[in-house]
Chains A and B, each alone.
Chain A
Amino acid sequence: MISVPLAITEMVYSLIIILLCLVIYKKTQEIYGLTKYKGIYYFRNAFLFFALAYFFRFLFLMFRFSWSTFDVRMLQGFMWPLNLVVMGYFGTLAILSLTLSTVWKRLKNPYLSAWMHLVSLVVALLALITLSTQVLLFAHGALIVVTLVLVHRARDRKRKFSNVFLIYLLLFVFWLINLLVLSPRSILFIETKLVVYLLSIILFVVVVQRVRKWLR
């Protein structure tokens, strides 16, 4: 059950993250319009998808809050699975887009976007069949491990580990922790959640600052 202060915390946290993601998307609009560069395309889309994933994660939590507080049972049959599926879909797209933004040159495949959506659909379908946040958490965890291994193999030998790689890794890890919070048997205490949320916001602010360094 979610208390009112926790619901407000979730709302503020989600709004901040969504806003930061949209700032990144908006800031990169002009340079993408000028160049149509694929790396920028995947990069900015990753943050649009993160914004959508965090938005549906927030809705998911709010619906759970509504049932426990107002006993709105009729929503349970429809809105809860819908949010889980959509969140799974956009979360997968965000992970894959951010990964592709750094390795698209080396993967000489003209159908990368199609593959990305196909994998996201499979993950969303898995979430729909199982209706479990834990399954989604494991699916995204496995996906992140696989993509990181691929990135590690595809990148230049000299640049195998960089600040950017670390930031992307942390973005993925925090997304997984955000999914973990959704689990009905979440083991995280409220204090731990707050620290995670704060660190997550700091991480997104770091990305925004790096974007703003070039695109004021």
Chain B
Amino acid sequence: MASVKKRDRLEVIHDILRIISEKNNSIKPTPLLRYSNLSSQRFQEYVLELTEKDLIREVLDKKERKYFTLTDKGFRYLEKYKTIRGFISEFEL
């Protein structure tokens, strides 16, 4: 059986942002939780962290349903992810 490498924090954040981006920058919490492959508690922690860091924001539609969208900073994170990874690897940070 192939071993599954545990994702680090940067990778989990990247995955969450990528999922939102791939869903036309609008996704409800439940599918995002499912696709992100996290426990409910960890998911809440990440959502709180990403909101505080202004990488994602919560929006409500006309029927008061909650959606997540990326902020400009969130798109920038996705854009820069490979660079960030490369930099961290270059200096063994």
Q: A165 → chain B, closest Cβ, in Å?
A: 8
Give the CA-CA distance A165 to B83 in the complex, in Å: 21
| Chain A residues whose CB sits within 8 angstroms of the CB of B90 once the complex forms | 164, 210, 213-214
Across the interface, name the chain B residue whose C-beta is closest to A32: B84
B53 close to A37 (CB less than 8 A): no
Residues of chain A from 34 to 54 with CB closer than 8 A to chain B in the complex: 34-37, 39-40, 42-43
Residues of chain A from 14 to 45 with CB closer than 8 A to chain B in the complex: 28, 30-31, 34-37, 39-40, 42-43
B93 close to A214 (CB less than 8 A): no
Q: How large is the interface on B (under 10, 10 to 19, 20 to 34, 35 or more residues)?
A: 10 to 19
Chain B contact residues, majority secondary structure = helix
Across the interface, name the chain B residue whose C-beta is closest to A42: B93
Give the CA-CA distance A175 to B31 in the complex, in Å: 53
Q: Tell me, yes or no, whether A162 is within 8 Å of chain B by CB.
A: yes
Q: Tell me, yes or no, whether A157 is within 8 Å of chain B by CB.
A: no
A37 close to B76 (CB less than 8 A): no
A159 close to B92 (CB less than 8 A): yes
Residues of chain B from 2 to 53 with CB closer than 8 A to chain A in the complex: 10, 13, 53
Q: B48 → chain A, closest Cβ, in Å?
A: 14
Give the CA-CA distance A214 to B89 in the complex, in Å: 11
Interface residues as binary, A174-216 with B (CB distance below 8 Å gives 1, 0 otherwise): 0000000000000000000000000000000000001101110
| Chain A residues whose CB sits within 8 angstroms of the CB of B83 once the complex forms | 31, 214-215
A31 close to B80 (CB less than 8 A): yes
Q: Tell me, yes or no, whether A133 is within 8 Å of chain B by CB.
A: no
Give the CA-CA distance A102 to B88 in the complex, in Å: 10
Q: Tell me, yes or no, whether A134 is within 8 Å of chain B by CB.
A: no
Interface residues as binary, B54-93 with A (CB distance below 8 Å gives 1, 0 otherwise): 0100000000000000000100110010011011101111
* Known contacts A34-B73, A36-B53, A37-B10; is-contact A210 B80 (Cβ 8 Å): no
Give the CA-CA distance A159 to B91 in the complex, in Å: 12
Across the interface, name the chain A residue whose C-beta is closest to B73: A34
Across the interface, name the chain B residue whose C-beta is closest to A39: B93
Q: Tell me, yes or no, whether A101 is within 8 Å of chain B by CB.
A: yes
Task: Known pairs A34-B80, A102-B93, A214-B87; list 8 more (Cβ under 8 Å).
Answer: A35-B84, A39-B88, A40-B93, A102-B92, A162-B92, A164-B90, A210-B90, A213-B90
Q: Could you show 20 A-B contacts with beta carbons less than 8 Å apart?
A: A31-B80, A34-B73, A34-B77, A34-B80, A34-B84, A35-B13, A35-B84, A36-B53, A40-B88, A42-B93, A43-B91, A43-B93, A101-B93, A159-B92, A164-B91, A210-B91, A211-B87, A213-B90, A214-B86, A215-B83
